[in-house]
C-alpha cells in the first residue's frame, strides 16, 4: 500500500467535496483496503463515510430508502426488509461472513470489484480491467468462476455481489450526488457490460458519490421471494451461480415473475426475457425450464464454465418451484 | 482520539495504513489475535469492535478511533477466571493447534448476541420470523467466517452449544 491520508467525513457535503477533489470513499474497507494492500488500486486520500448516520427509512408509499453507509448486517436484520423483501435479506446473508457483513456498507457492496484472480494478480497476470490493453489471462485460463452472459473479448469477469442481484430483481434505484447535482439510476443499469472498456464498471462519474438506495413499494412477487446461492462450499464463498426469484400467482397462473441471476455476468443479470415468458403460464417445472432457456439462449460459455448453463437452469427451477408451492 | 483496547486507551498509529491487526500485534504486543490470511478469508483476526465481530486485518486502526476493541486477552475476568466460552473450548476439545481459536472465540461471543437479538442467517427457514431453534446447521453457518485447518469444527460447535446452554440457564 502506498502512503495515504485518512480523513473522517464530517457530513455528506464534506464527503462529496473530498471525493470531488480526488479522495477515495472508504466504507467498511472490506474490499478497498485489500485492493490497496495488493496494489491493485492506489489512493492518496481516503475519506471515511462509515460513521455518517446510516438510516433505513420507510417512505410514504411503502418503499424504503437505505443510506449508503448502512451496513450489510443492519440491512439484513431490519424487520421491514425481512418481511417485505425477503430476497434481499437472504441475499445479504448469503454474502461473505458475519464479520464482513458487520463492516461492509451498502454503497461499498455496490462498488466492489470483481474477484477474478487474474485481476488481483498484479505481478503475474495480464488484465484489461486493471491495465487497459494489456490482455486477458482469464479467457484461456482458469475461468470456472467467470461470465457466460454479456462478456467481451476484453473481459470475462463477474460482479461478485449477492446484494446487488436482489436489488436488481427488486427494481431498486441508486441515488447519486455529484458536483453538478443529484441524480438516480436503476440498479439494473448502474453496472455496465465490459465491452471494449472493462475498466469502466459503472455509470458513476468521477467525483460522484452513492448516497443511498431506494426500494419501490413491495409488489406481491417481492414479498414472495427468495435467494439461492450455489457455491463450491456451502458457506463463505463467492457464487458459482445465484438466483433471486419472486413469484405471484392468480387463478393458478403466473401473474408476476421476477428473476435476477448472479455469478454469470459483469453485472447482476435481470432475466427479463424469462420473466416475460412466464406471465400467464401454469407454474410448473417445464414452463420454468422453457423460460430460463430463452434467457440463456445468448450464453457463451468459456473453457471451464459451461456447467453454469445447466446449473442456472436447475437453480431457477428449484427457486421458482419452491415459491410456487409456498403459501401466498 | 484514542482507541480503547481491553479497557486501556491507546493512541492511534501515525501511519493510516496500519491495520487494526498490526496495531494489536506489532504495536501493542497483544499477539493473541492471529494473522492468518491478512485478506479477509480466514477469520483468525476476528476481534470485537463496540461488541460487534469484525476482521481486524481489513480494518484500518484509525477507523477504530473513539471505539472500543476487545481481543482474546480481554475476555477473562479480573482474577484470571476464563470466559465461559474459553472454558467450554477446553472442555469440548474445540482446538488442536490453537491458531484459529482466539478468532473463533471472539466470533462466537458476538454470534451469541446476534442470536439473542433474533437476527436471521442464510439457513434460517423463515427470514422474517428469525431463528426458531439454534440448530447445529445454524451455528455452522453463523461461524463459517472462521476457518479451522485442523478440522476441530465439531468440537468448536459443541463448545458453542455448551456456552449457549450455560448462559441460557
* Interchain CB contact of A83 with B (< 8 Å): yes
Domain residue limits at B22: 3-74
Calculate helix-pair angle for B84-91, B101-117, nearest 10 degrees.
Answer: 120
Q: Report the chain B residue with the minimal C-alpha distance to residue A48.
A: B63
Going through chain B in order, the beta strands assigned E by DSSP cover 3-5, 8-10, 46-49, 52-55, 68-70
Q: Do B120 and A82 touch (CB under 8 A)?
A: yes
Q: What is the CATH number of the domain that holds B141?
A: 1.10.150.120
| pLDDT of res. A327 | 54
Does any domain span residue B49?
yes
Q: Do A89 and B141 touch (CB under 8 A)?
A: no
| Inter-chain CB pairs, A–B, below 8 Å | 100
| Helices of type H across chain A | 12-20, 32-37, 72-77, 79-84, 86-94, 98-103, 106-111, 117-120, 163-169, 187-190, 220-223, 272-278, 285-295, 307-325
Residue B97 sits in the same domain as residue B126: yes
Task: Give me the sign of the Cα torsion angle A271, A273, A278, A283.
Answer: negative
CA-based angle A93:A204:A103, to the nearest 5? Answer: 30
A32 vs chain B: nearest CA distance in angstroms?
A: 9
Average pLDDT over residues A270-296: 98
Does any domain span residue A277?
yes
Q: How confident is the model at residue A179 (pLDDT cuts 50, 70, 90)?
A: confident
* Interchain CB contact of A33 with B (< 8 Å): yes
| pLDDT of res. B125 | 96
What residues of chain A lie within 8 A of the CB of B141, using their CB?
Answer: 234-235
What residues of chain B lie within 8 A of the CB of A93, using their CB?
Answer: 120-122, 124, 127
Does any domain span residue B144?
yes
- How many independent structural domains does chain A possess? 2
Q: Do A98 and B58 touch (CB under 8 A)?
A: no
Does any domain span residue A90?
no
Q: What are phi and psi of A92, to 5 degrees?
A: -60, -45
Does any domain span residue B68?
yes
Calculate helix-pair angle for B153-168, B84-91, nearest 10 degrees.
Answer: 140
Cα–Cα distance for residue pair B4/B65, rounded to 1 Å: 8
What residues of chain B lie within 8 A of the CB of A26, using their CB?
Answer: 60, 63
B41 vs chain A: nearest CA distance in angstroms?
A: 8
Residue B16 sits in the same domain as residue B58: yes
Cα–Cα distance for residue pair A57/A79, rounded to 1 Å: 12
Residue A303 pLDDT exceeds 70? yes
Nearest CA-CA partner of A48 in B52, B28, B47, B1: B1
Which of A34, A50, A66 is the last residue in one of the domains? A50
Cα–Cα distance for residue pair A257/B71, rounded to 1 Å: 48
Tell which of B40, B59, B147 to mutate to test the A interface (max A CBs under 10 Å). Answer: B40
Q: Do B16 and A102 touch (CB under 8 A)?
A: no
Q: Classify residue B154 as left (phi > 0), alpha (psi -120 to 50) or beta.
A: alpha
The set of residues, in sequence order, having a beta carbon less than 8 Å from that of A62 and lying 6+ positions away, is A84, A217, A218
Nearest CA-CA partner of A147 in A317, A304, A319, A322: A304
* Interchain CB contact of A99 with B (< 8 Å): yes
* Coil/strand/helix, residue A24: strand
Which of B16, B39, B74 is the last residue in one of the domains? B74
Q: Do A97 and B122 touch (CB under 8 A)?
A: no
Q: What's the alpha-carbon Rg for chain B, to the nearest Å?
A: 16
Residue B57 sits in the same domain as residue B97: no
Does any domain span residue A248?
yes
Cβ A133 vs Cβ A103: under 8 Å: no
| pLDDT of res. A42 | 96
User: Which cell is A305 given?
Assistant: 464454465
CA-based angle A27:A32:A37, to the nearest 5? Answer: 140
- How many independent structural domains does chain B possess? 2
Tens of pLDDT, residues A128-176: 999 999 999 999 999 999 999 999 999 999 999 999 999 999 999 999 9
What residues of chain A lie within 8 A of the CB of B55, using their CB?
Answer: 30, 99-100, 103
Residue B44 sits in the same domain as residue B90: no
Q: Do B46 and A99 touch (CB under 8 A)?
A: yes
Does any domain span residue B88?
yes
Does any domain span residue A261?
yes
Does any domain span residue B117?
yes
Which of A16, A31, A50 is the last residue in one of the domains? A50
What residues of chain A lie within 8 A of the CB of B37, using their CB?
Answer: none
| ipTM > 0.95 (yes/no) | yes
Residue B102 sits in the same domain as residue B151: yes
Which of B46, B74, B102 is the last residue in one of the domains? B74
Tell which of B38, B58, B136 to mutate to test the A interface (max A CBs under 10 Å). Answer: B58
The set of residues, in sequence order, having a beta carbon less than 8 Å from that of A88 and lying 6+ positions away, is A75, A76, A81, A163, A166, A167, A170, A215, A227
Does any domain span residue B47?
yes
Task: Give me the sign of the Cα torsion angle B132, B133, B134, B135.
Answer: negative
Tens of pLDDT, residues B35-69: 999 999 999 999 999 999 999 999 999 999 999 99
Q: Do B120 and A102 touch (CB under 8 A)?
A: no
Does any domain span residue A28?
yes
Tens of pLDDT, residues A53-103: 899 999 999 999 999 999 999 999 999 999 999 999 999 999 999 999 999
Residue B94 sits in the same domain as residue B158: yes
Percent of chain A whose pLDDT exceeds 70:
99
Residue B106 sits in the same domain as residue B45: no
Tens of pLDDT, residues A1-28: 999 999 999 999 999 999 999 999 999 9
Domain residue limits at A18: 5-50
Chain B contacts to A (CB-CB under 8 A): 15-17, 19, 38-40, 43, 46, 49, 52-55, 58-60, 62-63, 65, 107, 110-111, 114, 117, 119-122, 124, 127-128, 130, 140-142, 144-147
A297 vs chain B: nearest CA distance in angstroms?
A: 31
Q: What is the CATH number of the domain that holds A31?
A: 3.30.43.10
Does any domain span residue B79?
no
Q: What is the CATH number of the domain that holds B12?
A: 3.10.20.30
| pLDDT of res. A328 | 45
Which of B21, B51, B74 is the last residue in one of the domains? B74
Cα–Cα distance for residue pair A146/A156, rounded to 1 Å: 6
Does any domain span residue B146?
yes
Residue B88 sits in the same domain as residue B163: yes
Q: To which residue does cell 419472486 refer?
A: A246
* Interchain CB contact of A327 with B (< 8 Å): no
A235 vs chain B: nearest CA distance in angstroms?
A: 6
User: Which cell is A282 given?
Assistant: 401454469
Residue B91 sits in the same domain as residue B147: yes
Residue B110 sits in the same domain as residue B34: no
- Write out chain B's pLDDT in tens, 169 residues: 999 999 999 999 999 999 999 999 999 999 999 999 999 999 999 999 999 999 999 999 999 999 999 999 999 998 999 999 999 999 999 999 999 999 999 999 999 999 999 999 999 999 999 999 999 999 999 999 999 999 999 999 999 999 999 998 6
User: Which cell is B67 given?
Assistant: 471505539
* Interchain CB contact of A7 with B (< 8 Å): no
Residue B54 sits in the same domain as residue B128: no
Residue B103 sits in the same domain as residue B161: yes
Does any domain span residue A305?
yes
Does any domain span residue A203?
no
Amino acid at each position: 500500500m502506498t502512503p495515504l491520508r485518512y480523513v473522517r467525513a464530517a457530513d455528506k457535503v464534506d464527503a462529496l467535496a473530498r471525493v470531488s477533489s480526488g479522495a477515495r470513499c472508504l466504507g467498511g474497507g472490506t474490499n478497498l483496503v485489500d485492493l490497496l494492500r495488493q496494489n491493485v488500486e492506489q489512493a492518496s486520500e481516503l475519506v471515511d463515510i462509515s460513521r455518517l448516520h446510516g438510516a433505513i427509512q420507510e417512505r410514504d408509499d411503502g418503499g424504503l430508502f437505505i443510506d449508503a453507509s448502512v451496513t450489510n448486517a443492519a440491512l439484513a436484520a431490519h424487520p421491514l426488509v425481512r418481511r417485505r423483501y425477503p430476497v434481499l435479506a437472504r441475499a445479504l446473508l448469503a454474502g461473505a461472513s458475519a464479520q464482513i457483513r458487520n463492516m461492509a456498507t451498502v454503497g461499498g457492496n455496490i462498488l466492489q470489484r470483481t474477484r477474478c484472480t487474474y485481476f488481483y494478480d498484479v505481478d503475474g497476470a495480464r488484465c484489461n480491467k486493471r491495465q487497459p490493453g494489456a490482455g486477458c489471462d482469464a479467457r484461456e485460463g482458469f475461468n470456472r468462476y467467470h461470465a457466460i452472459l454479456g462478456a467481451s473479448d476484453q473481459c470475462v469477469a463477474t460482479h461478485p455481489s449477492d446484494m446487488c442481484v436482489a436489488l436488481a430483481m427488486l427494481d431498486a434505484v441508486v441515488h447519486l450526488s455529484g458536483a453538478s447535482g443529484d441524480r438516480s439510476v436503476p440498479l439494473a443499469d448502474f453496472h455496465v457490460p465490459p465491452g471494449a472498456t472493462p475498466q469502466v464498471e459503472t455509470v458513476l462519474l468521477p467525483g460522484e458519490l452513492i448516497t443511498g438506495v431506494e426500494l419501490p413499494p413491495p409488489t406481491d412477487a417481492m414479498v414472495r421471494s427468495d435467494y439461492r446461492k450455489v457455491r463450491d462450499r456451502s458457506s463463505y464463498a463467492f457464487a458459482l451461480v445465484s438466483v433471486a426469484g419472486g413469484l405471484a400467482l392468480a387463478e393458478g397462473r403466473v401473474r408476476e415473475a421476477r428473476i435476477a441471476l448472479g455469478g454469470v455476468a459483469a453485472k447482476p443479470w435481470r432475466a427479463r426475457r424469462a420473466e416475460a415468458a412466464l406471465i400467464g403460464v401454469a407454474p410448473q417445472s417445464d414452463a420454468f425450464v422453457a423460460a430460463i432457456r430463452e434467457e440463456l439462449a445468448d450464453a457463451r460459455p468459456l473453457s471451464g464454465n459451461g456447467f453454469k448453463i445447466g446449473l442456472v437452469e436447475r437453480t431457477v427451477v428449484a427457486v421458482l418451484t419452491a415459491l410456487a408451492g409456498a403459501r401466498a | 482520539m484514542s482507541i480503547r483496547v481491553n479497557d486501556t486507551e491507546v493512541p492511534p498509529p501515525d501511519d493510516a495504513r496500519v491495520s487494526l491487526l498490526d496495531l494489536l500485534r506489532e504495536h501493542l504486543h497483544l499477539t493473541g489475535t492471529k494473522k492468518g490470511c491478512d485478506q479477509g478469508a480466514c477469520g483468525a483476526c476476528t476481534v470485537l469492535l463496540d461488541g460487534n465481530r469484525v476482521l481486524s486485518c481489513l480494518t484500518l486502526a484509525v477507523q477504530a478511533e473513539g471505539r472500543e476493541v476487545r481481543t482474546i486477552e480481554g475476555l477473562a475476568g479480573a482474577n484470571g477466571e476464563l470466559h465461559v466460552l474459553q472454558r467450554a473450548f477446553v472442555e469440548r476439545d474445540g482446538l488442536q493447534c490453537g491458531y484459529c481459536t482466539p478468532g473463533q472465540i471472539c466470533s462466537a461471543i458476538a454470534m451469541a448476541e446476534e442470536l439473542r437479538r433474533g437476527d436471521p442467517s442464510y439457513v434460517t427457514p423463515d427470514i422474517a420470523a428469525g431463528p426458531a431453534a439454534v440448530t447445529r446447521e445454524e451455528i455452522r453457518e453463523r461461524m463459517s467466517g472462521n476457518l479451522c485447518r485442523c478440522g476441530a469444527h465439531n468440537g468448536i460447535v459443541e463448545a458453542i452449544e455448551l456456552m449457549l446452554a450455560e448462559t441460557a440457564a
